[in-house]
Amino acid sequence: MYWQKRFDRENPDAELEAKIKAIRQSDKDFGYRRIYGKLRQEGFLVNHKKVQRLVQKLGLQVKSFAHKSRKYNSYKGT
């Protein structure tokens, strides 16, 4: 039936997921954009949205850096 998920099918992105994990292990601060660039350098033809989706699925997203807010000070020094 068309609405039932097929469980017997292999994961078509298994090779790509393994490569993403390997890139992420070697470079811990790489986000999906840099992983995408590295994959393109190595000859993988893949869309950046697919890379982002797989990075999210694998739980490898980089935590964003929050900038500290400070009150405006017009003092320019002496």
Write out the chain in H/E/C secondary structure: CCCCCCCCCCCCCHHHHHHHHHHHHHCCCCCHHHHHHHHHHCCCCCCHHHHHHHHHHHCCCCCCCCCCCCCCCCCCCC
Structural domain contains residue 7: no
The pTM assigned to this predicted structure is: 0.72
Asked if residue 19 is part of any domain, the answer here is: yes
- Please report whether residue 9 resides in a domain: no
Query: Which domain range does residue 31 map to?
Result: 14-58
Question: Tell me, what's the pLDDT at 53?
Answer: 96
At 29, phi and psi to the nearest 5?
-95, 15
Whether residue 38 is contained in a domain is answered as: yes
- The domain tally of the chain equals 1
Asked whether residue 21 carries a pLDDT value surpassing 90, the answer given is yes
Give domain status of residue 49, yes or no: yes
Q: Is position 24 within any domain?
A: yes
What are the pLDDT digits (tens) for 22-78? 999 999 889 999 999 999 999 999 999 999 999 999 999 888 778 888 888 888 886
